[in-house]
Amino acid sequence: MKQTEDLKKAHANMQAGVITVEGFLGFDNRLLSEIIQHDEEEFARLGLDWDVVAAKLHELLKKGSAGLGEPTTVDKTWLIRVDETRGTLPSPWDGEGIFHKVNCEVRRLDKTGKPEGKILLYNELSLNLLEKHHFLQGRGSHFRLEPADIKTILGFWDRT
């Protein structure tokens, strides 16, 4: 994947202190094009579909919102907590809009109903970045969505 001018501008906007204090890249020093390409390859290797993952994350965000900030069990499979913080965040891609700070934390439940260790943490902007750009954020970013964690927590292990 080529590092286009559009990607260069978005990459500059993702640096710590531009849109958010921590930025979107964590400790990842790769070009934005390299980060996206690696995650696309990892999705393919794991048998994940971008549209299916995005739809499931939207569904869990919506269902978890019913808890009004308290942890909510969804479909006897996930423990979800959705909270909203004041303010909004613009997309690092110019002209893509402003997103509310609605955060969703998803944990898979084991067979006894206890939460497992891994957590997916995302927000409305994270979903936009996943859907439109296949960008899961850089390694070490607070809102990084690891493909292997997506597969395990969402329960897509039987799709390969």
Q: What is the pLDDT of residues 59-101, one digit of tens each?
A: 999 999 988 888 999 999 999 999 988 889 999 999 899 999 9
73 beta partners: 79
Calculate mean pLDDT across residues 6-13: 94
pLDDT band at 4 (very low <50, low <70, confident <90, very high): confident
pLDDT band at 157 (very low <50, low <70, confident <90, very high): low
pLDDT band at 156 (very low <50, low <70, confident <90, very high): confident
> pTM for the whole thing?
0.91
Distance CA 34, CA 32 (A): 5
pLDDT tops 80 at residue 141: yes
Distance CA 6, CA 35 (A): 15
CA-based nearest residue to 136, from 41, 18, 6, 62: 41
Q: What stretch of H or E contains 71?
A: none
The pLDDT score that the predictor gives to residue 68 is 81
Q: Name the residue ranges covered by the structural domains of the chain.
A: 5-159
